[in-house]
């Protein structure tokens, strides 16, 4: 490795991905906090022993810290957050960003070999005065030659368009996913573990909207990504007929629509209100019913979970080519035990949880 020094940028990234402050790293590596700060700003370099201590405290290989810079990492401005809570601690947001960058680097390096079967084109589609999110969603469905019904597998679609989809514990349930598109690299969507399948699919559609429409953060982007997702999963010209005249007594009909369209009942009700198939008063009554039934926490009618396959396939290809787990960990810039835990063990299953463990008797 040329000029084997640690890069301050990589030390900061690995620290943030752990959800640590500079003080945490100082404590765990036995350094002064001032030194951590100087190292991260590039004002001080680590000697061999310091590098060993910092890498071991952060549980990363020394090679990661000596990467110079994160050439394939995402720009912070490309990270779009789907925050359910409006407030998130800075350290948590940094952790999710850092994690996304590290996972993105690992995935990019593991998938470096050319892949076959990526057939769906994906290009940015800027919004404009005459271009609404739903226009972009409708155009994408047409460009991808999708049949006019429900989306059968959202994850497979994204993967066929070259998007890396990874399910990981984000360490906060205030955020369902994060996505980004590094210059010259593959778009990545990191989804929080444990989302029910309907929310998982909606989240992917929402993130797809961000990837297409948003390069820089702005205030409207959450509602725009939701409008994109709603049209992509429930195209107005098809769903309107099905939702027209819906009454609050018809939860059976909603359950049937949920099974067919693979979206939550809550999303269907939302869509019905958006398309003015129900009045604002009816919408309110629906929401009250959902609360009464406890369905705002967990809906009946679990869907089959979708599993990302692309990274898994790339890893299998490496293993079949005779590469060892240690070699793969090195490619992924991870310690072997971390690599095993996140990518090889059965508990590392990319499946989102089929059901959430809820209190229902
Ligand atoms: Zn979002």
The DSSP secondary structure of 64-104, one letter per residue, reads: HHTSSS-TTPPPGGG-EEEESSS---HHHHHHHHHHHHHHH
Diameter of the chain measured on Cα atoms: 71
How big, in percent rounded to 5, are the helix, strand and coil portions of the chain? 50, 5, 40
88 Cα to the center of ligand 1, angstroms: 14
Using CA atoms, how far apart are residues 247 and 269, in angstroms rounded to an integer? 10
Using CA atoms, how far apart are residues 79 and 171, in angstroms rounded to an integer? 17
- Res 75: pLDDT: 52
Using CA atoms, how far apart are residues 73 and 95, in angstroms rounded to an integer? 14
Using CA atoms, how far apart are residues 79 and 97, in angstroms rounded to an integer? 7
Show Cβ contacts of residue 223 under 8 Å, excluding neighbours closer than 6 positions.
Answer: none
| Residue 233: CA count within 13 A, CB half-sphere | 33
Using CA atoms, how far apart are residues 338 and 36, in angstroms rounded to an integer? 24
Per the listing, tokens 């778009």 go with: 187
26 Cα to the center of ligand 1, angstroms: 34
- List the beta bridge partners of residue 128: 131
Q: CATH 1.10.260.40 in the chain, residues? A: 1-69
Please check whether residue 193 is in contact with residue 352, taking contact to mean a CB–CB distance below 8 angstroms.
yes
The tokens describing 77, both together, are 């401005």
Secondary structure letter of residue 342 according to DSSP: I
90 Cα to the center of ligand 1, angstroms: 17
CB atoms within 10 A of CB 227: 20
Secondary structure letter of residue 148 according to DSSP: S
225 Cα to the center of ligand 1, angstroms: 6
Show Cβ contacts of residue 360 under 8 Å, excluding neighbours closer than 6 positions.
Answer: 294, 298
The tokens describing 361, both together, are 């008797």
31 Cα to the center of ligand 1, angstroms: 38
Show Cβ contacts of residue 341 under 8 Å, excluding neighbours closer than 6 positions.
Answer: 347, 348
Per the listing, tokens 């350290």 go with: 91
Q: Any idea which architecture 1-69 has in CATH?
A: Orthogonal Bundle (1.10)
Using CA atoms, how far apart are residues 272 and 280, in angstroms rounded to an integer? 10
- Res 358: pLDDT: 35
Per the listing, tokens 């050319």 go with: 114
Show Cβ contacts of residue 359 under 8 Å, excluding neighbours closer than 6 positions.
Answer: none
Using CA atoms, how far apart are residues 249 and 255, in angstroms rounded to an integer? 12
93 Cα to the center of ligand 1, angstroms: 14
243 Cα to the center of ligand 1, angstroms: 26
295 Cα to the center of ligand 1, angstroms: 23
- Res 76: pLDDT: 44
214 Cα to the center of ligand 1, angstroms: 10
80 Cα to the center of ligand 1, angstroms: 6
77 Cα to the center of ligand 1, angstroms: 13
- Res 74: pLDDT: 55
What are the average pLDDT values for consecutive 10-residue runs of the chain, which has 361 residues?
A: 72 94 96 93 92 96 85 51 59 85 89 75 92 97 95 96 92 85 84 93 95 82 93 97 91 94 96 96 94 89 92 93 96 95 72 39 30
- Res 125: pLDDT: 92
Query: Would you say how long the chain is, in residues?
Result: 361
- Res 277: pLDDT: 95
- Res 348: pLDDT: 52
347 Cα to the center of ligand 1, angstroms: 27
334 Cα to the center of ligand 1, angstroms: 28
198 Cα to the center of ligand 1, angstroms: 16
Determine the Cα angle at 231 with ends 227 and 232, to 5°. Answer: 115
Closest by CA to 151, choosing from 87, 230, 221, is 230
Handedness of CA 254, 259, 261, 263 (dihedral sign): positive
* CB-based burial, 269-294: b 16+ in 10 Å, e otherwise: bbbbbbeebbeeebbeebeebbeeee
């Amino acid at each position: 490795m040329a000029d084997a020094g640690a890069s301050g940028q990589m030390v900061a990234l690995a620290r943030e991905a752990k959800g640590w402050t500079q003080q945490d790293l100082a404590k765990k590596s036995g350094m002064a906090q001032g030194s951590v700060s100087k190292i991260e700003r590039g004002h001080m370099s680590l000697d061999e022993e310091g590098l060993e201590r910092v890498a071991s405290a952060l549980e990363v290989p020394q090679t990661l810290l000596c990467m110079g810079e994160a050439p394939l990492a995402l720009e912070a401005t490309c990270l779009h957050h789907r925050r359910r809570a409006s407030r998130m601690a800075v350290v948590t947001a940094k952790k999710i960003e850092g994690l996304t960058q590290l996972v993105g680097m690992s995935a990019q390096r593991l998938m470096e070999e050319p892949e076959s079967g990526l057939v769906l084109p994906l290009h940015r589609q800027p919004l404009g005065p005459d271009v609404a999110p739903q226009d972009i969603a409708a155009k994408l469905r047409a460009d991808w030659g999708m049949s006019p019904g429900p989306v059968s597998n959202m994850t497979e679609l994204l993967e066929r368009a070259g998007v890396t989809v990874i399910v990981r514990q984000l360490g906060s349930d205030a955020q369902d996913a994060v996505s980004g598109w590094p210059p010259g690299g593959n778009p990545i969507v990191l989804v929080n573990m444990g989302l029910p399948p309907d929310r998982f699919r909606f989240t992917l559609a929402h993130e797809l909207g961000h990837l297409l429409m948003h390069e820089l953060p702005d205030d409207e982007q959450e509602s725009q990504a939701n409008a994109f997702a709603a049209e992509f999963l429930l195209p107005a010209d098809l769903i309107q007929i099905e939702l027209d005249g819906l009454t609050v007594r018809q939860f059976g009909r909603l359950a049937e629509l949920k099974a067919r369209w693979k979206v939550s009942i809550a999303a269907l009700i939302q869509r019905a209100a958006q398309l003015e198939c129900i009045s604002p008063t009816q919408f309110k009554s629906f929401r009250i019913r959902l609360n009464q039934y406890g369905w705002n926490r967990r809906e009946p009618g679990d869907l089959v979970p979708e599993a990302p396959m692309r990274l898994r396939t790339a890893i299998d290809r490496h293993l079949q080519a005779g590469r060892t787990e240690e070699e793969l960990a090195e490619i992924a810039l991870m310690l072997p035990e971390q690599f095993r835990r996140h990518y090889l063990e059965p508990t590392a299953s990319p499946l989102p949880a089929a059901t959430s463990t809820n209190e229902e008797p």
